[in-house]
Amino acid sequence: MLISALIVILLAYFVAGKFYLHALPEKLFVLVFSISTIYYGVLGPWYWTEFKNSTFLGIDWSGQFPTVIYSFVLVFLIVVATISILGGRSERDCFLEGESDVGRLMPRVKLLLWIGFLSCAYVYIVGGALAESEMLVTSDPFLNIFFQFSDLSIGTLLFLGVSKGFDKKWIALASVFVAYAVISGFRSKLALLLGPLLLYLFFLPRKNQLLMRGGMFIFGLIIVILFSVMTIVRVKFSGFDLDALVGADMDEYLYGLFAETNLIFGLSSALAIFGEKIPFAGLTPFTEVITQFVPRFVDPDKDLYLHLKQAAWWLANSQEAQDSGTAMPFYGEYYAAFGWLGVVFFVMLYAAVVIYLIRFIRRHALTKNQYLMGAALIAVFLGYYYFSRGSVAQIFKGMIFACGPYFYLTYIHSKLERSSNQLKTMRAQTGRYRLKKLRDRDHAFTKRF
């Protein structure tokens, strides 16, 4: 079954890339989406079957695996088909050469960076203090707010790097953010910064391209190993528990590599309970996109993500299961909302959103570097990050705070540059008009005498 699923995925990827996908952003997204599907939908069930006897929280889930695997393949085919139909038919080839002038954007860039890094400092200091005193992070009413604002650094750093260059200042800022993410234990923030950067450098055209791609491949392996180790030793807001590595064997390192694939159990639970044991969630996952922005100090009793908590609870009918933090893939929430019809409809809508964002970048990116980085950010955020976190509400916040700065700065940069070019054109046209009037007056004067 796993081999058949893998063959179908690879064959669909090859056919789409060979005959239907003509532009780099669409190809880049389908590549990342294919890797996510193989990792979670094929390697995930393989790992839990071979090394954990299909057991999670003391329950055997082997009977659910066929449906889970087929659902991953179905969703993959829907996404690839939709992208192939709606995607661009040709690659954009008209860009400004070299780096663009972002001088007029720098006040905005600096403001976003200040907000982002100050928020990082608040999260690290306050979160560390709460963790040390063994208090819940929700004890501080502002921590979640600053946690979101810290993501502003991600999109801003990516835009600054491709627009002004990856100079020493950029490397210093990026290093501070990476250190914050590593020490605080936020792998997702690392993935959203380093993932697009890795794809950008891998696909960036250059003379020594083969050597660079080899280096990026090795760098990618290092990141994977880092994520595996962080799974074992990370303590949120408190750095690393290095003692956990003392007795760690290969099985634990392997678990660190495949820990995220436990979302197949969250999906299994959702498929088993919604519409059978409990009603479908309906529009609740989507209305929470709005209600989540009400701060907890305004509404302390706010209770979100009930459908996700229900899916986690039914894993083992216990509070331990609900507190396990087991997620589901993005389409699991669509099933929880409206069943299989919801999966088909909202997966197609998801692919349409991807195409819309790609078209946005294709229209407003001024340089090839901005274009490539924008495509890489969309691919990593929606093809990997959202893939593994089945919550529309949470992902909407990520889209605003992590990706929003890149889209905003790209749009403003394009608008400023085009208005500047229009002004230059108007000045040139005005000059030509005045010159023509002078020539006509001289001609009339000469003709008179």
Amino acid at 105: L
Question: Is residue 444, in this structure, part of any structural domain at all?
Answer: no
End-to-end CA distance of the chain, in Å? 97
Q: Which bin fits 101, alpha (ψ -120 to 50), beta or left (φ > 0)?
A: beta
Establish if 439 belongs to a structural domain. no
* Residue 443 within a domain: no
Q: Is residue 440 part of a domain?
A: no
Which tens digit of pLDDT belongs to each residue from 87-134?
A: 866 666 566 665 567 888 999 999 999 999 999 999 888 887 877 776
**Element of type H or E holding 56:** strand 55-56
Tally of structural domains, the chain: 1
Q: Is residue 126 part of a domain?
A: yes
Tell me how crowded residue 425 is: count the other CB atoms within 10 A of its CB.
Answer: 10
Q: Is the pLDDT of residue 257 over 50?
A: yes
* Total count of residues recorded for the chain: 449
Tokens linked to 251:
């099985």
Domain assignment present for residue 448? The answer is no
Find the mean pLDDT for residues 143-149: 88
Q: For residue 90, what are the domain limits?
A: 2-424
What mean pLDDT do residues 73-82 have? 96
Q: If you ran DSSP here, which 8-state letter would residue 53 be given?
A: T
Residues 6+ apart with CB under 8 A from 160: 102, 109, 113, 170
306-334 per-residue burial string, b: 16 or more CB within 10 A, e: under 16: ebbebbbbbbbeeeebbebebbbbbbbbb
Q: Is residue 68 part of a domain?
A: yes
Both structure tokens of 383: 């093809």
What percent helix, strand, coil does the chain show, rounded to 5? 75, 0, 20
**Does residue 260 belong to any structural domain of this protein?**
yes
Q: What is the pLDDT of residues 17-59, one digit of tens each?
A: 999 998 899 999 999 999 999 999 999 999 999 998 888 888 8
